[in-house]
Amino acid sequence: MTKHYALSAAKRDQAGKGVARALRRDNRLPAVIYGDNKAPVTISLPAKEVGIEYHKGHMFTMLCDIDIDGEKIQVLARDVQVHPVRDTVQHVDFLRVSDKTRLKVNVPVNFMKYEESPAAQEKGVLNIVRHDVEVFCLAKNIPEAIDVDMSGFNIGDAVKISDADMPEGAKPVIDDRDFTLVTIMAPKRIEVEETEAEEGAEGEEGADGAAEGGEGEAPAAEGGEEAKE
């Protein structure tokens, strides 16, 4: 079951940039709750508490119980506006949800036990294609992560979504192909060694050719001297 966090909010009757600036001066943030076929509700939230939850990295995958003057509403953050310089939260859009709400949500991918794999023993390099995957699931059952057991993979392998341990009740939004999550590449030092070996072989061939060319020049010089005589 999806974990919850809680915030206390206050209703606000006015909107606009001026109101938003005034709220931020008072260390509060403007926010809105929408969805579930109900009228949107404009609220304000304590800036510090919202900032803490946002920087924990779970606001888009964890339900929030918002208390508005004693009325509790279950919501999920769908959009967070952040200041481009200070990285502080400026505004939050929340979706009102129920136990029956199904939605699309991006869930992070955990690549587990890689250090036990044959690829890790050969110092393979992970090239992560997708850090998260968009899934369909119930709002009350949003998975914290999608786990992938990497212990059996080798250098050159491509790890697909079919290799992941999908949480119960969740399925990828992309369902028409077995898409790649991560590939495992050979370490760069091996590629450098192979390149140096090839260059060394070419150098030896060039030296042999120069030696053969040098031997062929002597008869030409002798022939020239005979012509002068």
- Please report the pLDDT score of residue 49 as a whole number: 95
pLDDT at 99: 84
Least Cα distance to 186 among 115, 126, 112, 131 occurs for 126
Domains of the chain: which residue ranges? 4-97, 103-188
Pick the CATH number of 4-97 from 2.40.240.10, 3.40.50.150, 1.20.1270.30, 2.40.50.100: 2.40.240.10
Which pLDDT belongs to residue 42? 93
Q: What is the pLDDT of residue 219?
A: 47
Pair 103, 109: CB distance under 8 Å: no
Q: Per this entry, what is the length of the chain?
A: 229
77/62 Cα distance (integer angstroms)? 8
Cα separation values, 89 from 19, 23, 27, 43, 54, Å: 16, 12, 11, 15, 8
Q: What is the pLDDT of residues 126-167, one digit of tens each?
A: 999 999 999 999 998 999 899 999 999 999 999 999 999 998
Architecture of domain 103-188: Beta Complex (2.170)
pLDDT of residue 80: 96
What is the pTM assigned to this prediction? 0.72
**Res 197: pLDDT:** 59
The pairing of beta strand 171-172 with beta strand 132-138: antiparallel
Task: Quote the pLDDT of residue 194.
Answer: 57
pLDDT lower than 50: segments of the chain: 210-211, 214-229
- In angstroms, the Cα distances linking 13 to 10, 20, 41 are 10, 12, 9
